[in-house]
């Protein structure tokens, strides 16, 4: 008779031993995986009528995982991309379980065989210089929050940092002397330096002279002196983009995110003639191929390429069928 394996210690070991100790993944990855399993355990509790602590590993089979993913997409409005990220977290857990529970290998392989869902890859969205200027002018810089928001958005659009990179930045990570730059630990725990332009240096210099909150280490803190949350940053951007849209109607209907500002920086570098390899290094991309998406994003660059080509010379004319029956069909 096969022994029943409790899910709780296995899941705990996955986070503490596999992710934190062995792989030493970033706090952002821990948070993402944690949120995935919180959603999954709540869904499982409703379906199986059992508290998460009483679940056995054998009850977490492939059909249950597929129903969970479908539920996220159909009833919670998650995009296909977000659905695939949830599946990535579950696959990672089951690969860990394969070493801990070899007796459940058949069940594990069926879950690992669940494929990611394909989706239409849309063109990269980005802001124009007019839209960026309107967004940066929106905060009321007579207030502490306005000065913080202005410095945050200016640094985001000029450096192209990811959301996690800019919210985790410390005051000591910013160097404003000769060769001004910000030093961050990016995706894959890779350290990189991103140069700062003179206008950004001026704004950050004034911001760093502001009164510190609590320990004063966080570069862009919230009202309590703590790191800004994802929802806090999005609330800030939504507020200022709504205000900026009154001045720049082009912003109406556009959802401004830190990732959109990152794309905007990449497009400005590309349109300025910067090599793709340099852009990849700037953004912290794993491969130069990732930067390929920006080449497809702007119609202006495609029109410039078309202008440099020699169009074929053709004689305009109209098709004339040589048969009465074809002529009849053509005129229907």
Let me know: does 263 contact 125? Beta carbons within 8 Å.
yes
Q: Which of 162, 240, 263, 276 is catalytic?
A: 162
CA–CA gap between residue 182 and residue 166 (Å, rounded): 10
Q: Which of 18, 96, 240, 294 is catalytic?
A: 294
CB-count exposure of residue 244 (10 Å: 0-12, 13-18, 19+): buried
Rounded to 10 deg, the angle between the 129-137 and 230-247 helix axes is: 110
Q: Which of 71, 213, 227, 259 is catalytic?
A: 259
Residue corresponding to tokens 């700037």: 282
Q: In Å, what is the CA distance from 116 to each residue of 66, 121, 283, 285?
A: 11, 14, 26, 22
Q: Which of 95, 192, 217, 285 is catalytic?
A: 285
Does 162 participate in catalysis according to the annotation?
yes
Q: Which of 95, 181, 187, 192 is catalytic?
A: 187
Does 262 participate in catalysis according to the annotation?
yes
Q: Which of 148, 262, 263, 276 is catalytic?
A: 262
Does 285 participate in catalysis according to the annotation?
yes
Does 294 participate in catalysis according to the annotation?
yes
Annotated catalytic sites, by residue? 162, 187, 259, 262, 285, 294
């Amino acid at each position: 008779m096969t022994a029943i394996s409790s899910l709780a210690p296995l899941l705990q070991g996955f986070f503490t031993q596999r992710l934190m100790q062995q792989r030493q993944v970033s706090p952002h990855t821990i948070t993402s995986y944690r949120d995935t399993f919180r959603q999954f355990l709540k869904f499982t509790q409703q379906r199986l009528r059992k508290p998460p602590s009483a679940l056995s590993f054998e009850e977490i089979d492939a059909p249950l995982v597929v129903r969970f993913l479908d539920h996220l997409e159909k009833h919670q409005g998650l995009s296909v991309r977000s659905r695939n990220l949830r599946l990535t977290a579950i696959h990672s857990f089951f690969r860990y379980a394969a070493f801990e529970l070899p007796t459940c290998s058949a069940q594990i392989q069926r879950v690992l065989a669940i494929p990611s869902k394909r989706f239409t890859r849309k063109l990269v969205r980005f802001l124009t210089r007019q839209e960026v200027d309107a967004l940066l002018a929106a905060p009321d810089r007579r207030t502490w929050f306005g000065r913080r928001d202005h410095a945050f958005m200016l640094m985001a659009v000029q450096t192209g940092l990811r959301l996690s990179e800019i919210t985790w930045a410390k005051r000591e990570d910013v160097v404003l002397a000769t060769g001004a730059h910000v030093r961050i630990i990016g995706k894959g725990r890779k350290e990189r330096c991103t140069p700062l332009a003179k206008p950004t240096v001026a704004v950050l210099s004034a911001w760093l002279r502001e009164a510190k909150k609590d320990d004063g280490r966080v570069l862009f803190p919230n009202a309590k002196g703590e790191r800004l949350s994802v929802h806090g940053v999005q609330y800030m951007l939504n507020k200022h983009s709504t205000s900026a849209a009154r001045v720049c109607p082009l912003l109406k209907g556009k959802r401004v995110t830190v990732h959109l500002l990152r794309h905007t920086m990449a497009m400005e570098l590309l349109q300025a003639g910067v090599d793709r390899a340099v852009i990849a290094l700037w953004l912290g991309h794993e491969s130069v191929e990732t930067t390929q998406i920006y080449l497809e994003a702007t119609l202006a660059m495609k029109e410039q390429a078309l202008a440099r080509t020699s169009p074929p010379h053709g004689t305009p004319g109209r098709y004339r069928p040589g048969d009465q029956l074809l002529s009849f069909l053509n005129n229907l």
